[in-house]
Chain A
Amino acid sequence: MLFPTLDFALFFVAVFAVAWSLRRQDGARKMFLLGVSYFFYGYWDWRFCFLLLFASLVAYAAGVALATTGDLRRRKLIVGVAVTLLLAVLGFFKYYNFFLDSLSRLLEVAGLERDMLFLEILLPVGISFFTFHAISYIVDVYRGDAVARRSVVDVLLYMSFFPPLVAGPIVRAAQFLPQLESRRRLTRRALAIGLVLCLVGLFKKMVVANYLATDLVDPVFFDPSAYGTPVLLFAAYGYAVQIYCDFSGYSDLAIGTAALLGYHLKPNFRQPYRSGSLQEFWRRWHISLSSWLRDYLYKPLGGSRHGELATYRNLFVTMFLGGLWHGAAWTFVIWGMLHGAGLAAERWFRDRFGTEGRRSAIGAIVAVVLTFHFVCAAWIFFRAENFGIAMDYFAGLAALAWDVSMITPFSLALIAIPLLFQFTPENLAERIAASIKAAPALALAVGTAVGVVLIELVAPAGTAPFIYFQF
């Protein structure tokens, strides 16, 4: 079930009404939310529900086992077995054919061609996200950051709670589970923030991301050799804005709908294209993934505690695996490696010259422009269907051939406006929500309704799936 559809609107109105009518019966409310979350997930393909249930039960069992033993070796073994099981399932569904294909090509190069057992595997939507939810729960319990739950319903609901289920944000157990213990209240602030975020998310996805995809990005990335340098540059900016609006739009909708149900999820994006360095970019882009990778991968690898070389290696390995997490293709791996190498180079430069905090205004602008263009260049690998198309794209950029065929006032506005919003005061949605929260219910209703109707009228026909559904 996609967020910007009538099906979801009717589903959510019913869930909102029933969930709040059960607000004094915590157990029934949780059971209801659990049931509707599985319904939401099963709407794609009911068979995937068993996979979600399996990952949830592995997390639950590991939590219970960890709570019953204080022996460090046993605890490590429990974490190791559970995480291996979860990663094995993820690996099979997401990477089986990719690794087999890579192995086949490697053997072919070595002259040892073999027939491989390729399988037609349907990728369960959101598998990367709920696997990370499960690992977060197990590791948080192991570290003592979260208490192991005796209630299987709590763990199942944490794993399946529908707003962030299929495309994040990745919710930490230590942040979400305590919210299941206290009675939920719907404050006027949460109502206002929920409505504002839903409107902003709908606009970003349905208007900006969908138009940019169909009018500009999809045709140019389909055959970059057919376009000149200005169009290729414009489409690279277009994709940077499209993926931002698509993914942050989904996050806004997830955080907004969760707020309307009384749950707080942390922001996932904070105007990433205003960043003056890659390090800052990763503190603003897909924050729930970058902080997850930092806490569950980079730090366990040693972080920055074992000298310069080890730090660079850890940065590189973390981003390499972060790239692979996005998808089973070498283009994602290259995207991750570019960011890893960029972060390591930036660290080396900062360690030598210590530029942080000493930039002039012009220096700060140059840093933002350079960071943005590095990120755009890496996005070309991320978006390209394969390595060859990415290379064609760069060749076209370097060819310096004149062509402005795809640059229109409409697409220019679609790119320029979201980029300008990168430089407005932070937490703009919260500020707007704070200013409207005291408005009468009817005024809120008319304002929201007019916004929704305008978005529907302006948006192109049809509902394209979110980019991050494939991850």
Chain B
Amino acid sequence: MNPAIDRTRFGTAANVRAGLIVFAVSLLLLAMFLSSSLQSYAYDLPVNPLTETIVAWVDAWHGWMEAIGAVQVAEGIADAVARFHDMTFAQ
């Protein structure tokens, strides 16, 4: 690979952008599949006008995630893990 192209593709600025994309996508997926945890987090915030707005947004977001099925996928995975977790050698 041409070193000049390599520096452009993989220089610090490009890698920082890549890192920010990683964080953004991770936070988005977490917010999608763990919207109920996000709801709990929002409800634990100290009560004030700002956090009330945040809670309203988070409630609406959670509703959308239920509507598109993300919550059900997460619950399905959690249920499968719980079944394995509760299994005994006698079964």
B19–A260 touching, CB < 8 Å: yes
What chain A residues lie within 8 Å of B87 (beta carbons)?
Answer: 408-410
B12–A185 touching, CB < 8 Å: yes
- Closest beta carbon of chain B to A20's beta carbon, Å: 4
- Closest beta carbon of chain A to B74's beta carbon, Å: 6
What chain A residues lie within 8 Å of B77 (beta carbons)?
Answer: 454, 457-458
A188-B16 Cα distance, complex, nearest whole Å: 9
A260-B12 Cα distance, complex, nearest whole Å: 11
- Closest beta carbon of chain A to B11's beta carbon, Å: 8
| B27 close to chain A: CB less than 8 A | yes
Closest chain B residue to A440, Cβ basis: B18
- Closest beta carbon of chain B to A419's beta carbon, Å: 19
Query: How many of B's residues come within 8 Å of A, CB to CB?
Result: 33
- Closest beta carbon of chain A to B78's beta carbon, Å: 5
Closest chain A residue to B37, Cβ basis: A456
A186-B16 Cα distance, complex, nearest whole Å: 7
Closest chain A residue to B32, Cβ basis: A453
| B54 close to chain A: CB less than 8 A | no
A185-B12 Cα distance, complex, nearest whole Å: 6
- Closest beta carbon of chain A to B31's beta carbon, Å: 10
Which one of A185, A408, A441, A454 contacts B17 once the chains associate, using CB atoms below 8 Å? Answer: A441
A6-B33 Cα distance, complex, nearest whole Å: 14
- Residues on B lying within 8 angstroms of A by beta carbon are 10, 12, 14-30, 33-34, 37, 41, 74, 77-78, 81, 84-89
What chain A residues lie within 8 Å of B26 (beta carbons)?
Answer: 445, 448-449, 452-453
| A171 close to chain B: CB less than 8 A | no
What chain B residues lie within 8 Å of A13 (beta carbons)?
Answer: 20, 23, 27
What chain B residues lie within 8 Å of A211 (beta carbons)?
Answer: 85
What chain B residues lie within 8 Å of A296 (beta carbons)?
Answer: none
- Closest beta carbon of chain B to A127's beta carbon, Å: 29
A456–B34 touching, CB < 8 Å: yes
Q: Can you identify 22 A-B contacts, CB atoms within 8 angstroms?
A: A6-B41, A13-B20, A13-B27, A17-B16, A186-B12, A187-B15, A188-B18, A191-B18, A215-B85, A404-B89, A408-B85, A409-B89, A442-B25, A444-B21, A445-B25, A448-B25, A449-B29, A453-B30, A453-B33, A457-B34, A457-B81, A458-B77
- Closest beta carbon of chain B to A466's beta carbon, Å: 21
A17-B88 Cα distance, complex, nearest whole Å: 47
B27–A9 touching, CB < 8 Å: yes
| A1 close to chain B: CB less than 8 A | no
A186–B89 touching, CB < 8 Å: no
- Closest beta carbon of chain A to B15's beta carbon, Å: 4
A13-B20, A441-B18 known; 14 new pairs, CB 8 Å cut-off, are A20-B16, A187-B15, A188-B15, A188-B18, A191-B15, A410-B87, A441-B14, A441-B17, A444-B18, A449-B25, A456-B30, A456-B33, A457-B77, A458-B78
A195–B15 touching, CB < 8 Å: no
What chain A residues lie within 8 Å of B78 (beta carbons)?
Answer: 457-458
What chain B residues lie within 8 Å of A442 (beta carbons)?
Answer: 21, 25
Chain A's interface: helix, strand, loop or mixed, by majority? helix
A230-B87 Cα distance, complex, nearest whole Å: 18
What chain B residues lie within 8 Å of A6 (beta carbons)?
Answer: 41
Closest chain B residue to A262, Cβ basis: B12
Closest chain A residue to B91, Cβ basis: A409
| A117 close to chain B: CB less than 8 A | no
What chain B residues lie within 8 Å of A404 (beta carbons)?
Answer: 89
Closest chain A residue to B17, Cβ basis: A441
A410–B21 touching, CB < 8 Å: no
Pairs of residues from A and B, 5 with the lowest C-beta to C-beta distance, nearest first: A441-B18, A445-B25, A449-B26, A449-B29, A20-B16
| A471 close to chain B: CB less than 8 A | no
Cβ < 8 Å to B, chain A residues 220-274: 260
A444–B22 touching, CB < 8 Å: yes
Contact mask for chain A residues 26-51; partner B; CB cutoff 8 A; 1 contact, 0 none? 00000000000000000000000000
Q: A445-B21, A453-B33 are in contact. Are A188 and B89 (CB under 8 A)?
A: no
A446-B26 Cα distance, complex, nearest whole Å: 7
What chain A residues lie within 8 Å of B74 (beta carbons)?
Answer: 453, 457
Q: A409-B89, A445-B26, A453-B30 are in contact. Are A17 and B10 (CB under 8 A)?
A: no
Q: A454-B77, A457-B81 are in contact. Are A17 and B29 (CB under 8 A)?
A: no
- Closest beta carbon of chain A to B87's beta carbon, Å: 5
- Closest beta carbon of chain B to A199's beta carbon, Å: 10
A190-B14 Cα distance, complex, nearest whole Å: 13
Which one of A195, A445, A453 contacts B34 once the chains associate, using CB atoms below 8 Å? Answer: A453
Contact mask for chain A residues 410-451; partner B; CB cutoff 8 A; 1 contact, 0 none? 100000000000000000000000000000011011101110
| A348 close to chain B: CB less than 8 A | no
